[in-house]
Amino acid sequence: MSARITLCVAVIALLSSAGVAHAQSFDPPGALVAGSGRGRVDETVWAPTMRFPMEYGPAYANSQVYAPGGSMPPSGRGGGQCDSYNYGYPWRDNFCETRRWDVALCPSGHGHQGQDIRPGVCTSGVVPGVAAAAGRIADIGSYSVDLVADDGTRYEYLHMNRVAVREGQRVECGDVLGYISNAFGGTPTTIHLHFNIRMAVRGVGSAFVPPYTSLRESYGRLGAGDACAPPMDAGVRDAGTRDAGRTDAGRTDAGRRDSGTSPSSGMCRSTTLGRNVSDGECVQVGAAVASCGTGCGWARCDAGAWTCISDLSTCGGTTHANGECDPVGGTCRSDTLGRNVEHGTCVQVTRASCGESSCAWYRCVDGNWACTELTACSGESVANASCDNVCVGTRGVCGDRLECCGGRTNSNIECFEGYCEDTTMCLPNGDTSCGTTVPDGTGLPHCCGPMICGLDTGGTPECCGVPGEPCTSADDCCGFEQCTDGMCAPQETGESCMNTQECVGADYCTDSGVCGTD
């Protein structure tokens, strides 16, 4: 039953500004930091459809303990938690890292049950943690948020602050749950997300399963701008070439109802798509499947059961054309994607075309492809992973507006102080409402860009800059930070503070209001 996945593209990039290569790289599963225990060598992708649990990258999966700023740093290596050692590739698995905790799947029988992931910036409360799947918030503790997906898989997020959801709330894939921080029941840890995947595993029971490979795959989809798409869709984008083998091959017996869903659930199991779909959605079966005619027929999900149809206008606006079949209506066949796309969809190709040597954009117009500019694309825009144009999400790190996914179609989206932002919908510096309003799950309201909702020296919440952020005066910075050479400067050990983010290195703001570690 092994489903072998073809992994993608090797990209070597030279970044002009810093001259630093930031090619992603990933140590294999089970390869722990030397001296940190024995890892589990297991390529199983336990949660193949999950979304990466941070809204945007970069992110760095590695150990919090066996690292600078941790309790067991590498020999001869100093530095605090913000050390560059911790904020670079390769990723490192730390499932089964030495702990006393019993874990059946670990070679030693005990170890670390999840994966630690650092956000792209060493600042608490900035990077959103987002739903890895659609489901419900089953539990919120003093430093934990548990999301249970529809299929019963539990995704556990530890050490978030500014939690933006409530227990029982329904969330969709990618919804903001909270912000990555160092919260740990009153005793701060390093700024990171401890991420667990727990599911019922036959022979073990309710088990913590290794999350590393699932994270690695979902990170790839995030970088491709396809964070919440099922893997069969994400995979076809890898090489920018025709993916003949991925057009639902082996999944062509659509039409069976999923016995695992309840009769009233309004969901149908599509083996063509490899997932359930909702009532009203239509799926085109493969060319060799005669369940609705002689092949390439259409089936609609009606009250949990499939009905063959011939009129696509009854599909409630959601159709899933099959890449094995000829385009229908206003759709276009994309060899790059290995499937058909709807009118208005734009696809980026790698071959020389449209007057470009590579990476030109095409738009599907009434069943035909037309060369286009990205800014003219009003529907889905599918970037090619081989091209140098990262779509970094709605709040990702950016250097240019067009790097922001929404910036391609929404003129309100700007690259604000290095972050994609809709500046009409976020809070400016000095706004004190950030401390009185709870984000509603859509990410709003939040402080624009890299600012946090911190405290001023009088203890009033306000949007303010953390060390390293631009400023014109100390008023722009959080707490007691000073504005030095146009940048907010951190408070040293022993100096006054209001927020941990003000403090240098691994210091936090102690109960006595000074930066320190005790």
Ranges within 77-116 binding another protein (CB under 8 A) = 90, 100-109, 113-114
Q: Does 12 bind another protein (CB under 8 A)?
A: yes
Residues in contact with another protein, total (CB under 8 A)?
122
User: Helix or strand or coil: residue 258?
Assistant: coil
Record the tokens describing residue 347, joined without a space.
């696809």
153-161, 319-327, 405-413, 422-430 -> range binding another protein (CB under 8 A): 153-161
Q: Does 237 bind another protein (CB under 8 A)?
A: no
Q: Does 217 bind another protein (CB under 8 A)?
A: yes
CA distances from 444 to 54, 256, 379, 425 (A): 16, 41, 24, 7
Q: Does 42 bind another protein (CB under 8 A)?
A: yes
DSSP state of 67: S
Closest approach of another protein to the CB of residue 64, in Å: 10
Rule CB under 8 A: which of 240-299 touch another protein?
240-241, 258-262, 264-265, 267
Shorter beta-carbon distance to another protein: residue 399 or 494: 399
User: Helix or strand or coil: residue 433?
Assistant: helix
Rule CB under 8 A: which of 330-389 touch another protein?
350, 385-386, 388-389
Q: How far apart are the first and last CA of the chain?
A: 52
Torsion angle of C-alpha atoms 451, 452, 456, 460, degrees rounded to 10: 130
Ranges of beta strands (E only) in 184-232 are 193-201, 205-209
CB 507 within 8 A of CB 515: yes
Spatial CA neighbour of 507 closest among 142, 138, 82, 112: 82
Q: What angle do CA 37, 43, 48 make, to 5 degrees?
A: 120
Binding another protein by CB under 8 A: which of 35, 293, 316, 399? 399
Q: Does 220 bind another protein (CB under 8 A)?
A: yes
CA distance 408 to 395: 14
Binding another protein by CB under 8 A: which of 196, 331, 381, 499? 196
Rule CB under 8 A: which of 408-467 touch another protein?
418
Residue 390: exposure state from Cβ atoms within 10 A (0-12, 13-18, ≥19): buried
Binding another protein by CB under 8 A: which of 51, 118, 216, 363? 216
Binding another protein by CB under 8 A: which of 72, 173, 207, 309? 207
Binding another protein by CB under 8 A: which of 35, 78, 152, 494? 152
Q: Does 206 bind another protein (CB under 8 A)?
A: yes
Shorter beta-carbon distance to another protein: residue 80 or 445: 80
Q: Does 233 bind another protein (CB under 8 A)?
A: no
Residue with token string 């006393």: 100
